[in-house]
A and B are shown apart, each in its own frame.
Chain A
């Protein structure tokens, strides 16, 4: 309560400061940035006190103070803070990659791959079917049957994606490291790659069937480079980081941010997928460095990421268009329900095939959150098909908003039911030895 009162005073103080701003200086950014950190931090604490994940608090503060509700963080400032989001995604991807140790990949790889493929396939089929049923009632599916099926499949290909950011942030918050946590993380990371491939394939087929009016976009070769190139570039970056850690392992806090920044720049210059590049870099760094060096670097990155995470989720909340959510709820709710059903069914089938039924009962709850890559894919679609792309994006962001609010709560509940909240992490190599 004390913090809420202080927040009110800060808000009032900001209103006093705003008229004193100098025209054209454009530096409301830092003021808003600071306020968002404090507000999101406070909301996160309130959420934690209510037994909810802190991320929910961060998101809620973004919604509340963002341009669509109170407007404390106006749309141009939220847009200007985009580099913070990019940095956050880079840090998240690097940290996610660094979470994967080779012994663990070998021990759990088959189960992760089976669950991922099964879950994505079932989810994709169910969502495509739903799109075909809804048909022309959605603006972007209007047209002949061919268009309805093609754009329905494209929408489904985007909609099945998960959120590494939410998964990793929750694992950081809860310090969970048991089988459900590790399998969920693995599925989320692998599915990112699979979804990009699937989306590219569906887009290529759609392009052949319905030639785009917008930018030509990437061809098949470009898409393959985007994926494989990311692995190559990320691998090289990871090797360079590991080499640096061997020579000079000082000032790691700053170095972590520089690595994330350079990773984003290099990925942009080489036209490869940023998330996958940083993910590979994190994986290579962790598995090539000496254990103590990799650990020290990961700790430094976690420390530098902590305030960035808070703002990242607050910004994600600020972009949730509450008006769209209320306007499109009649479409959004069925899509979310079918998606969750697809995740549940696909995960259970995959877990049974991989002979890990216990994990199959809970992992699906960690796969509901959405963000990151999916928004990028929606932008690619909007670029290729400008007349339908914006409508796809609007509906999709409304779906993401709902999933983003429900997902973290479900994942935390899954970790609680698995008894992994604040449990000591599993030693994968020991587990492998036992197997």
Chain B
């Protein structure tokens, strides 16, 4: 690459980044939304299909660091699964959440399998894998948006409680889905002897996280100074993500277990969570940059399947929420619209898509990645506002339903 061309590309990339950042900043202030679209755009511009500043070789050399960003997200989810808190949550909330999430996965997977098999066209068994990945992505709900909305909610009603539990449960289910896909389609290792079975890969995947978490708990001891905790935790998470990535299983599942074990064994779980949250946004943005850079136009006609996914996902989410609440007798408390609060998606969706892409041997990786990226960008913009609107609506309805003050008694 010539000097002038190279410098020009740096300037273009910088200008595009700052321009889109200012634009999205304005949108954020105007519409009270948070977005990382400028980072995604930066990734696309820097990537091999635009400016080429990040060549395919460079991207491959950065792949382990993308795995780290993916693993970090898993650890953040795991670190919030603190058992004493989880057992205090009523079982009905889990029932509604799990049924809703599984229904979403099943509906999206079924419709997308048919659509991919018919549109591209592909054999059923080949269409099932990307469709299942899309089903996993579809069930991801932005926990961050629920937290943001909860902070400004007028009070903690049943809808908010349900949204919090549903968002967490769907994250775990989504990670289980992608881990299942990677375990089923695993490439045989180079070493001699019988290759592990699907179940064994899944156990190894979880085992890396559990053993890693337990060892790191011993390693950490009482050393919880913020900076030292951050450095050593970064090392441990890199190690666990690296181990999972090295044997090509999901870093998400390994680090989910790592985070959960650590948070449940330490005396300072809040500090662990705080340390993980410290680089949450930068890593999310790094993930978007790498997502953008890894994106390229699919060799298949991708527009229709992606558009269909976006529509089906929202439909499945809302419909599954209504059905789940009805089956569990919670419809009166939650209302028919409650699962609109789960439409927003966060970094986990991109992380799952990138895990799928990095496996190399799975079909239609670009459709999966494009669907995840577009879904995140479209729904993240709206999610916090959507939840706020939903909570305000439920709050107003609750006030309307409340009995009128008894004047006679007064």
Contact = CB atoms under 8 A, between A and B. Distances in A.
A10 B189 contact: no
A251 B285 contact: yes
Contacts of A271: 3
B187 A22 contact: yes
Contacts of A262: 10, 14
Contact of A254 (B208, B228, B240, B282): B282
Contacts of B279: 253
B245 interface: yes
B63 A27 contact: yes
Interface string B209-222: 00100011011010
Given A25-B246, A34-B237, A34-B241, A248 B21 contact: yes
Residue in A29, A270, A306 whose Cβ sees the most chain B Cβ within 10 Å: A29
B83 interface: no
B354 to A, nearest CB: 14
Contacts of A244: 18
B106 to A, nearest CB: 31
Nearest to A256: B282
B227 A17 contact: no
Nearest to A37: B235
A31 B242 contact: yes
Contact of A269 (B10, B65, B281): B10
A30 B22 contact: no
Given A30-B68, A33-B242, A269-B3, A21 B189 contact: yes
Contacts of B1: 269
Contacts of B285: 251, 254
Interface in B247-262: 247-248
A270 B235 contact: no
A247 B14 CA distance: 14
B196 interface: yes
B245 A30 contact: yes
Interface string A255-293: 001000010011001110000000000000000000000
Contact of B6 (A25, A36, A269, A303): A269
Interface in B82-141: none
A134 to B, nearest CB: 41
B248 A25 contact: yes
Contacts of B286: 254
A265 B65 CA distance: 19
Contacts of A5: 218
A80 interface: yes
A306 B248 contact: no
B239 interface: yes
A17 to B, nearest CB: 5
B248 A22 contact: yes
A13 interface: yes
A246 interface: no
B10 A265 contact: yes
Contact of B231 (A10, A41, A240): A41
- Number of chain A interface residues as a range: 35 or more
A427 to B, nearest CB: 25
Interface string A17-48: 11111110101111111111110011000000
A83 B234 contact: no
Contacts of B237: 34
Nearest to A240: B14
A435 to B, nearest CB: 35
Residue of B68, B208, B239 with highest tally of chain A CB at under 10 A: B239
B282 A270 contact: no
A266 B13 CA distance: 12
Contacts of A22: 187-190, 246-248
A307 B14 CA distance: 27
B235 A34 contact: yes
B231 A29 contact: no
A21 B232 contact: no
A3 B68 CA distance: 23
B7 interface: yes
Contact of A38 (B21, B22, B190, B236): B236
Interface in B1-21: 1, 3, 6-7, 10, 14, 18, 21
Nearest to B25: A248
A403 B282 CA distance: 37
Interface in A184-234: none
A337 interface: no
B243 interface: yes
Interface string B8-45: 00100010001001100100000000000000000000
Contacts of A248: 21-22, 25
A306 B231 contact: yes
B215 A10 contact: yes
A30 B218 contact: no
A3 B63 CA distance: 29
B355 interface: no
Given A23-B190, A254-B282, A306-B230, A34 B239 contact: yes
Contacts of A25: 246, 248
A285 to B, nearest CB: 15
A93 B68 CA distance: 26
Contacts of B240: 34
Nearest to B192: A19
B395 to A, nearest CB: 32
B64 A33 contact: yes
A423 interface: no
23 contacts: A18-B246, A22-B190, A27-B67, A30-B65, A31-B246, A34-B237, A34-B238, A37-B231, A37-B232, A37-B235, A38-B232, A41-B232, A83-B61, A248-B21, A251-B281, A253-B281, A254-B282, A254-B285, A265-B10, A265-B53, A303-B227, A307-B230, A310-B235
Given A22-B188, A83-B61, A244-B18, 4 more contacts: A22-B189, A29-B242, A33-B238, A254-B281
Interface of A: 2-3, 5-6, 9-10, 13-14, 17-23, 25, 27-38, 41-42, 80, 83, 240, 244, 247-248, 251, 253-254, 257, 262, 265-266, 269-271, 303, 306-307, 310
Lowest 3 A-B CB distances belong to which pairs?
A34-B239, A37-B235, A30-B242
